[in-house]
């Protein structure tokens, strides 16, 4: 979560400074990181409740 907050802050700062190239790069980093987090959460949920998933 700390990395997600840090990368999101970078995105906000870039946007406030109207640095659109940095904003897009930061958004891409946030997006990639959140996808990895969601994958990890999904794996954990499936392991915790294996009978609920085929």
pLDDT tens for the chain, 54 residues long, are 788 889 999 999 999 999 999 999 999 999 999 999 999 999 999 999 999 998
**Domain assignment of residue 54, yes or no:** no
pTM: 0.75
Question: What's the pLDDT at 46?
Answer: 97
Question: What's the pLDDT at 19?
Answer: 98
3-state secondary structure of 28: helix
**Domain assignment of residue 35, yes or no:** yes
**Domain assignment of residue 13, yes or no:** yes
Report the b/e string of 12-28 with b at 16+ CB within 10 A.
eebeeeeeeeebeebbe
**Domain assignment of residue 53, yes or no:** no
Q: How many domains is the chain built from? A: 1
Question: What's the pLDDT at 1?
Answer: 79
Over its C-alpha atoms, the chain yields an Rg (Å, rounded) of 15
d(CA 35, CA 50): 22
Question: What's the pLDDT at 21?
Answer: 97
Exposed/middle/buried for residue 39 (C-beta within 10 Å: 0-12, 13-18, 19+): exposed
- Residue 34's domain spans which residues? 2-48
């Amino acid at each position: 979560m700390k990395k997600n907050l840090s990368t999101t802050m970078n995105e906000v700062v870039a946007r406030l400074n109207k640095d659109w190239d940095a904003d897009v790069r930061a958004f891409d980093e946030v997006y990639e990181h959140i996808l990895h987090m969601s994958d990890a959460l999904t794996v954990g949920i499936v392991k915790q409740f294996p009978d609920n998933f085929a």
